[in-house]
Amino acid sequence: RTTDTTVASTVVIHTSRPGVECQGTTYRTDGIALPLRACRTSQRPSDEAALGALKDQVTSLNVQSSN
């Protein structure tokens, strides 16, 4: 959704919400990890998938620029 932060940003990456649209982990205040399951589907990638795709693109650009 659009927020003041997304309006002010140059780049916005919309990802699915952990525990709502993809699995994830949350932590209680005492440090205990609680696994989360998706309760609905989304077309958006998870944070992990989006960061992995960015890493792959940066790696590809670094390889191309060194040739």
The Cα angle at residue 65 between residues 62 and 67, in degrees rounded to 5: 110
- Global pTM reads 0.69
Handedness of CA 6, 13, 1, 34 (dihedral sign): negative
- CA–CA distance, 33 with 54 (Å, rounded to integer): 27
Tokens 């958006």 belong to: 44
Q: What is the pLDDT of residues 13-34, one digit of tens each?
A: 999 998 899 998 999 999 999 9
Q: What is the pLDDT of residues 31-40, one digit of tens each?
A: 999 999 999 9
Q: Is residue 54 predicted with pLDDT exceeding 90?
A: yes
| 1 DSSP β-pair partners | none
Q: Is residue 63 predicted with pLDDT exceeding 90?
A: no
